[in-house]
């Protein structure tokens, strides 16, 4: 099917999408939040990760259903707009924009802080500027280059995690009790507290954020209706296996482990497990992981901005532009790069606050969208379909919605303020400027995707 304007190039297969999702998620985040998560879960990290995985699994299922219905860029914004209504979709997209656009800032800031700690003579802002320019270059070249970089990073991280687990397992076996490897102690203990485990799970859920980002790359994926859902489940399951395994083994090997500072707890753990050598490797892997998380997050937010630009919700000539040679949204990449320079001045905790609110809001409405699209509009209401399209997503919506209420009061106030700003923008656009939200461009993309899949 020929078109007069440049389009995103379909080049991603299942493995490429999985690597991008895992790179955005960053498996090494287990160590980044180790101390805080350990305290929140009362030391029962393995149990908390199991609960978090169950909660995220419901939402992952809902994403897999909605990307089958609408295999186009836009993620929760598109799903809510199509399944519920356009105005609600806009507000969900507005909340999600907070998540996506701040994610590169977090990556740049974290990268700068880590490298500044290793090379104190070089200021944090220098590393931030350097990383920003590199992220822009890699993303402009094209999605294949992003997938290659992400694949290398994920493999690097997984290898480190495997080596870490080998070291820990050696310590367990050195204790002389091989059966300890099959203990239920990490899941049930004398100090077992459901409330504490759920509190830990509420925080740990953020370690799974990233599987949803791959839905923004549906238009660059070969056969997205099959590839994206498969990739979503692989991403969530791989992350769960990694997280639960690390937590399980460390709890068995070091049941009395304590740390001085929750922010540096992982460094203390790594030092205890493998000494200076493992600590040096850990720092290197963590820096690489942070870099590729930045690459993937820039890819996701620029595709999301593309969806908003093509509908003229944002200026179409800028945000809807695709470079004729590179087949990438170059102007969006430049825009995000400029925004990311604010990481020089912003606080890391504040940035994480923005991401938390945006992600959980989007997750809640994706679950609701499944009910609205399949159960209400398409009336798929057999016994099996009621379970799949009503009960399953309803549980996911309630679970994630409950986690949203557990965020700190300041976080909720900032998030609500952002939503109010979105209401104002929507009012100006629809009432004052008389520009209603349109599905014209998305419909054309959906039709093109259907034709492409039928021809394969």
Structural domain including 150 reads 14-449
- Distance between CA atoms of residues 104 and 119, nearest Å: 22
Domain contains 5: no
Element (H, E) at 209: none
Identify the pLDDT of residue 168.
92
pLDDT score at 116: 79
Question: Residue 282: inside a domain, yes or no?
Answer: yes
In a domain, 6, yes or no: no
Nearest Cα residue to 236 out of 208, 259, 199, 216: 208
The pLDDT tens digits of the residues spanning 16-56 come to 888 878 877 888 888 877 887 888 888 889 999 998 898 88
Distance of CA 365 to the CA centre of its chain: 16
Asked if the structure places residue 332 within a domain, the reply is yes
Q: Is residue 103 part of a domain?
A: yes
Looking from the CA of 247 toward its CB, the CA atoms found within 13 Å total 31
Q: Is residue 7 part of a domain?
A: no
Global confidence as pTM: 0.77
Residue 143 lies inside a defined structural domain of this protein:
yes
DSSP 256-277: T---S-GGGHHHHHHHHHHHHH
What's 63's domain CATH number? 1.20.1740.10
Per the domain annotation, does 3 fall within a domain? Answer: no
For the chain, what is the domain count?
Answer: 1
* Interatomic CA distance for residues 47 and 346, integer angstroms: 34
Span 383-430, pLDDT tens digits: 999 999 999 999 999 988 887 887 778 878 888 898 899 888 888 877
Work out the end-to-end distance of the chain between its first and last CA atoms, rounded to an integer number of angstroms: 13
Low-confidence ranges of the chain (pLDDT < 70): 1-9, 11, 73-74, 142-150, 175-180, 190-192, 216, 263, 348-349, 353, 433-456
């Amino acid at each position: 099917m020929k078109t007069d304007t440049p389009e995103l190039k379909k080049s991603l297969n299942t493995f490429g999408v999985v690597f991008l999702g895992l790179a955005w998620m960053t498996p090494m985040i287990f160590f980044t939040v180790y101390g805080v998560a350990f305290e929140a879960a009362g030391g029962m990290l393995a149990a908390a990760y199991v609960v978090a995985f169950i909660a995220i699994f419901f939402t992952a299922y809902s994403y897999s259903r909605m990307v089958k219905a609408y295999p186009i860029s836009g993620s929760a914004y598109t799903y809510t707009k199509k399944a519920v209504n356009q105005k609600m979709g806009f507000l969900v997209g507005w909340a999600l924009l907070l998540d996506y656009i701040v994610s590169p800032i977090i990556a740049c800031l974290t990268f700068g802080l880590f490298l500044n700690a290793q090379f104190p003579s070089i200021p944090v802002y220098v590393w931030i500027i350097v990383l920003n320019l590199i992220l822009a270059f890699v993303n402009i070249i094209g999605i294949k280059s992003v997938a290659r970089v992400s694949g290398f990073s994920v493999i690097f991280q997984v290898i480190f995690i495997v080596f870490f687990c080998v070291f820990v397992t050696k310590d367990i076996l050195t204790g002389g009790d091989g059966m300890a490897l099959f203990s239920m102690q990490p899941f049930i203990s004398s100090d077992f507290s459901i409330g504490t485990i759920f509190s830990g799970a509420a925080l740990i859920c953020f370690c799974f954020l990233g599987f949803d980002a791959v839905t923004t790359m549906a238009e660059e994926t070969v056969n997205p209706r099959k590839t994206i859902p498969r990739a979503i489940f692989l991403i969530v399951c791989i992350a769960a296996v990694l997280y639960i395994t690390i937590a399980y083994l460390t709890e068995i090997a070091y049941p009395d482990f304590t740390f001085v500072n929750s922010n540096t707890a992982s460094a203390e753990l790594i030092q205890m497990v493998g000494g200076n050598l493992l600590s040096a490797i850990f720092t290197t892997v963590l820096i690489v992981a942070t870099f590729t998380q930045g690459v993937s997050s820039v890819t996701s937010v620029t595709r999301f901005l593309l969806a908003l630009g093509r509908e003229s919700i944002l200026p179409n000539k800028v945000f809807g532009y695709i470079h004729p040679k590179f087949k990438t949204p170059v102007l969006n990449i430049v825009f995000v790069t400029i925004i990311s320079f604010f990481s020089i001045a912003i606080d890391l905790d504040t940035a994480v606050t923005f991401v938390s609110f945006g992600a959980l809001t989007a997750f809640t409405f994706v679950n609701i969208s499944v009910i609205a699209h399949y159960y209400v509009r398409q009336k798929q209401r057999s016994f099996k379909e009621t379970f799949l399209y009503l009960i399953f997503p309803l549980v996911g919506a309630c679970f994630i919605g409950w986690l949203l209420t557990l965020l700190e009061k300041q976080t909720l106030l900032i998030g609500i303020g952002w939503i109010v700003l979105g209401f104002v923008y929507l009012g100006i656009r629809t009432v004052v400027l008389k520009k209603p939200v349109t599905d014209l461009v998305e419909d054309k993309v959906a039709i093109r995707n259907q034709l492409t899949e039928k021809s394969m």
